[in-house]
Amino acid sequence: MKPATREKIAALAADMGYVPDMAARTLVMRRTGLIGVVIPDMTNPFFRDLGQGIEDEAAKHGLRVLINDTRGIESAEREAVRLFQELQVEGIIVPMARCPQSYYERVREACTVVQVNRPDASFHVSCDTIEGSLLIMRHLLDLGHRRIGFVSGPAIPGEDPKMLAYRAALEEAGIDYDPNLIFGFDGTLKSSSAIVDQLLGLRKRPTAVFAHNDINAIAMLRGLRECGIAVPDDISIAGHDNIRLSAYVEPPLTTVAWPMYELGQKSVRYLYSLSHGKRPRKPRVSAPELIVRESTGGPKAARRKQTRSSV
């Protein structure tokens, strides 16, 4: 029809409050224009920039976004995926999946799935977690730390890239791995408080800790301060993710920045191409970046040695 006629009809529809019938449109076009996003924890600011990148890029392609928060529970993740399939979404984006890849191989038989930061997935958009974690570990080692604690996350230990990087950095520096310096984090503030208690209960404490993420690190900063432990004078704390709050806590947190907005954008572009029958190359994203702030410094022993040598 003529553009002028189309505009008149659109204006009339708007005046009448007309709402298109999605079911009818889907039958005609054989597409819903929907994509599903499975978020493991909406309360974590880490996922905000990712979600913004997904929504902004989806709008460019005329897609609408449905989000389901699974709270990091595997069964809830499976339920979210099932719901999205029932809604006939054009594809699903899954950041930090909890379900095994064998499950998603079956899902992909019926629906396009792009995973974020799961390099073992068939279709994924990832930032190099190992490289980012090595940046943190080498920073702590360069400061003179030799007894470094590590807070592992909810990922399967054998598949946790941060743990792999932690152990690789220790080996690179000729330092033996000590299981007493490994603390478990389940994503809750209560878990972070328990880690502080465990840390302070050690006969020989670490001089630095590489936390699983910034939320965990910030909670530890508070717990240590409440116990009279100064950061970084008594112990250095480093996080991961560079959420916006990390620059404003006291002391400001040393961390690794990820290109979260870019990950969101490129996951949608990849999904869109795959769902339209194309086979694009796997997207490349910017490298992680070390952000050094005031929560890390040299260990006390090294500072005393430096002071004596300067006198």
In terms of domains, do 89 and 138 share one? no
CATH of the domain at 118: 3.40.50.2300
For residues 31 and 63, the answer to whether their CB atoms sit within 8 Å is no
In terms of domains, do 134 and 230 share one? yes
Nearest to 70 by CA among 84, 91, 90: 84
- pLDDT for the residue numbered 31: 62
Sheet of 124-125, strand order: 64-69, 34-39, 92-95, 113-116, 124-125
Average the pLDDT over 239-246 and give the result.
93
Look over the chain and give the mean of its residue pLDDT values, rounded to a whole number.
Answer: 88
Q: In whole angstroms, what is the distance from residue 77 CA to residue 59 CA?
A: 25
In terms of domains, do 296 and 151 share one? yes
Which pLDDT band holds residue 310 (cuts at 50, 70, 90)?
Answer: very low
Whether residue 254 is predicted with pLDDT greater than 70 in this model: the reply is yes
In terms of domains, do 223 and 171 share one? yes
Domain for residue 2, yes or no? Answer: no
Whether residue 300 is predicted with pLDDT greater than 90 in this model: the reply is no
For residues 213 and 207, the answer to whether their CB atoms sit within 8 Å is no
In terms of domains, do 148 and 230 share one? yes
Structural domain total, the chain? 2
Between 153 and 208, residue with greater pLDDT = 208
Per DSSP, the residues of 46-108 read HHHHHHHHHHHHHHHTT-EEEEEE-TT-HHHHHHHHHHHHHTT-S-EEEET--S-HHHHHHHT
- pLDDT for the residue numbered 46: 83
Q: In whole angstroms, what is the distance from residue 236 CA to residue 299 CA?
A: 8
Nearest to 207 by CA among 264, 261, 291, 149: 149
DSSP state for residue 295 in the 8-state scheme? T
Which of 13-17, 18-22, 44-48, 78-82 tops mean pLDDT?
A: 78-82
Between 68 and 11, residue with greater pLDDT = 68
Q: In whole angstroms, what is the distance from residue 187 CA to residue 216 CA?
A: 7
Would you give the distance in Å from CA 192 to the centre of its chain? Answer: 18
Lowest mean pLDDT among 114-123, 176-185, 212-221, 295-304: 295-304
For residues 224 and 290, the answer to whether their CB atoms sit within 8 Å is no
Which pLDDT band holds residue 96 (cuts at 50, 70, 90)?
Answer: confident
For residues 168 and 228, the answer to whether their CB atoms sit within 8 Å is no
In terms of domains, do 159 and 301 share one? yes
**Kind of pairing between the strands at 124-125 and 148-152:** unpaired
Q: With H, G, I as helix, E, B as strand and everything else as coil, classify residue 152.
A: strand
Q: Domain span at residue 39?
A: 13-127+260-288
In terms of domains, do 271 and 296 share one? no
- pLDDT for the residue numbered 155: 61
H or E element that contains 289: strand 289-291
Per DSSP, the residues of 203-237 read SS--SEEE-SSHHHHHHHHHHHHHTT--TTTT-EE
In terms of domains, do 116 and 210 share one? no
Domain for residue 1, yes or no? Answer: no
Domain for residue 8, yes or no? Answer: no
Between 160 and 303, residue with greater pLDDT = 160
Average the pLDDT over 262-281 and give the result.
92
In terms of domains, do 123 and 27 share one? yes
**Structure tokens given for 8:** 């008149």
In terms of domains, do 80 and 206 share one? no
Per DSSP, the residues of 94-149 read EET--S-HHHHHHHTTTS-EEEES-TTSSSEE---HHHHHHHHHHHHHHTT--SEE
In terms of domains, do 295 and 155 share one? yes
Average the pLDDT over 258-264 and give the result.
93
User: Residue 124 forms beta bridges with which residues?
Assistant: 115
In terms of domains, do 142 and 252 share one? yes
Nearest to 293 by CA among 231, 202, 234: 231
Per residue in 146-201, pLDDT (tens digit) is 999 999 887 654 578 899 999 999 999 999 999 999 998 876 777 888 899 999 99
Domain for residue 92, yes or no? Answer: yes
Domain for residue 7, yes or no? Answer: no
